[in-house]
């Protein structure tokens, strides 16, 4: 088997542009890896092997293109990004046979940059979950231990990157769904500022929370992918017309002199597993050794973040998913007597338990008798959460803390939905505030032997600074081992 799959995206891109490796070789290496690992981890819903090989052959015939930074690089997409002519399911029975007629803007930009799409990744149904156990098709395993979850909802994307099936993947993050699987799978996951990356073609869960971002093996790889997909899109009304900086320019910094890192008391206290705290503390100590200064912070509204998030997210889910009714597209029941019966049975048959739960709760909090008591109040708390962060960033340049209170848990261990919701306690606030954040692997838990991720959080549209600091820290930490899969 080819060892190409062990290269980083940056290394592969250099080999491809230099003519040392053909695009066909890169695709074959990934397809071989998919064949070897899929029976154990089940990361992909759709494998586009034949199309990928044909595209690679065509590209090789024309030769490398230096104007295309991802020329010949195999990439995986979370299966809620529309792909022209390729089945897009959101891991839901209700979209089992949905084939879009257009590409999402991010997909178009990847193609224009020369990337080769090789698969569509498994996920929690409609991105609703923290473990990828809610997929309508199958459960994805963690490459470090297939009996454990890869995180969610972008668990398939994270597992695919960690297993060497691709060189980068796109995930989406509504409440931590890029950062959590990145932490659990030992890779880099970046959630950009809300509005930095176009949401056109992203099948929505929570429209004011969803944001797309890269999942890669290194910080440099994440910067390369973000450089391609970031930028204003007139097709997306939530896309912000903000200049996109050169994300690669600051990655070579040798020290963290002049950088102040805030450590929120709420992220480092009760409920944090000792092995997670130890690994994250060691990473912060390394930042200090590199010249960074740390300051204590208080994000006093963190305790209200879970309740606020789930009221807003479920309300938006109720609204967004109302379009899937069996009339225009998606699953339609074969056993309906009249219109309302068709709506009810189509949605009952098409949606899984967690999606139905969130739709029902979302409809409840939006109802006339409860809107002011729940949704309106949550919207006000959301604004206060953002003000909490704005105040914190007057004292520091970045905020650091664990991504999750634990390492990856075993499948079935969080059967109680409330326990599962608490997995996002450290990530949710960032989505409510619309700020950028990322997960950086900082080692393995002393007890579990599973990856631990440090979360870095930044000011709006300052992904470049966050990537610069993360790259410096990454170079000075012990190399992250690979899963023995």
In the chain, the domains with their CATH numbers are 4-255+436-476 (3.90.1300.10)
Closest CA relative to residue 160, chosen from 124, 199, 187, 194 = 187
> Among all residues, which ones are annotated catalytic?
78, 153, 177
The pLDDT of residue 1: 52
Residuewise pLDDT in 10s, the chain (485 residues): 578 999 999 999 999 999 999 999 999 999 999 999 999 999 999 999 999 999 999 999 999 999 999 999 999 999 999 999 999 999 999 999 999 999 999 999 999 999 999 999 999 999 999 999 999 999 999 999 999 999 999 999 999 999 999 999 999 999 999 999 999 999 999 999 999 999 999 999 999 999 999 999 999 999 999 999 999 999 999 999 999 999 999 999 999 999 999 999 999 988 899 999 999 999 999 999 999 999 999 999 999 999 999 999 999 999 999 999 989 888 999 999 999 999 999 999 999 999 999 999 999 999 988 999 999 999 999 999 999 999 999 999 999 999 999 999 999 999 888 889 989 999 999 999 999 999 999 999 999 999 999 999 999 999 999 999 999 999 999 999 999 88
CB 57 within 8 A of CB 22: no
The pLDDT of residue 255: 97
């Amino acid at each position: 088997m080819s060892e190409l799959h062990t290269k980083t995206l940056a290394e592969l891109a250099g080999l491809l542009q230099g003519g040392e490796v053909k695009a066909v070789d890169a695709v074959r290496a990934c397809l071989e890896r998919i064949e070897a690992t899929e029976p154990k981890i089940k990361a992909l819903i759709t494998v586009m092997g034949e199309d990928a090989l044909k595209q690679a052959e065509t590209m090789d015939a024309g030769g490398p293109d230096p104007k295309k930074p991802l020329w010949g690089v195999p990439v995986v997409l979370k299966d809620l990004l529309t792909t022209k002519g390729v089945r897009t399911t959101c891991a839901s029975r209700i979209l089992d046979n949905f084939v879009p007629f257009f590409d999402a803007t991010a997909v178009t930009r990847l193609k224009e940059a020369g990337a080769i799409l090789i698969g569509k990744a498994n996920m929690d149904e409609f991105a609703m979950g923290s473990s990828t156990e809610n997929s309508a098709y199958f459960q994805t395993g963690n490459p470090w231990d297939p009996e454990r979850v890869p995180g969610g909802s972008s668990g398939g994307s994270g597992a695919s990157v960690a297993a060497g099936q691709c060189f980068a993947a796109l995930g989406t993050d509504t409440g931590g769904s890029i950062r959590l699987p990145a932490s659990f799978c030992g890779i880099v996951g970046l959630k950009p500022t809300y509005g930095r990356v176009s949401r056109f073609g992203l099948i929505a869960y929570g429209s004011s929370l969803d944001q797309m971002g890269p999942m890669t093996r290194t910080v440099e790889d994440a910067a390369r992918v973000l450089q391609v997909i970031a930028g204003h899109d007139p097709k997306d009304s939530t896309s912000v017309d903000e200049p996109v900086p050169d994300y690669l320019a600051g990655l070579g910094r040798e020290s963290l002199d002049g950088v102040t890192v805030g450590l929120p008391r709420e992220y480092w206290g009760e409920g944090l597993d000792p092995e997670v705290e130890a690994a994250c503390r060691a990473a912060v100590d390394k930042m200090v050794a590199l010249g960074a200064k740390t300051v204590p912070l208080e994000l006093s509204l963190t305790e209200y973040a879970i309740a606020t998030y789930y009221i807003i997210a479920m309300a938006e889910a109720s609204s967004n998913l109302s379009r899937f009714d069996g009339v225009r597209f998606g699953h339609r029941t074969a056993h309906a007597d009249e219109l309302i019966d068709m709506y009810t049975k189509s949605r009952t048959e098409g949606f899984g338990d967690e999606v139905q739960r969130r739709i029902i709760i979302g409809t409840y909090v939006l109802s006339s008798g409860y809107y002011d008591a729940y949704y309106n109040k949550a919207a006000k708390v959301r604004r206060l959460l953002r003000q909490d962060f704005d105040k914190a960033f007057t004292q520091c340049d970045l905020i650091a803390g664990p991504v999750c209170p634990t390492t990856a848990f075993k499948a079935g261990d969080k059967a109680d939905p409330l326990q599962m919701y608490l997995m996002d306690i450290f990530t949710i606030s960032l989505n409510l505030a619309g700020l950028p954040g990322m997960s950086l692997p900082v080692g393995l838990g002393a007890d579990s032997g599973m990856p631990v991720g440090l979360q870095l959080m930044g000011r709006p549209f300052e992904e470049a600074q966050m990537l610069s600091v993360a790259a410096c820290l990454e170079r000075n930490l012990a190399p992250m081992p690979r899963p023995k899969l």
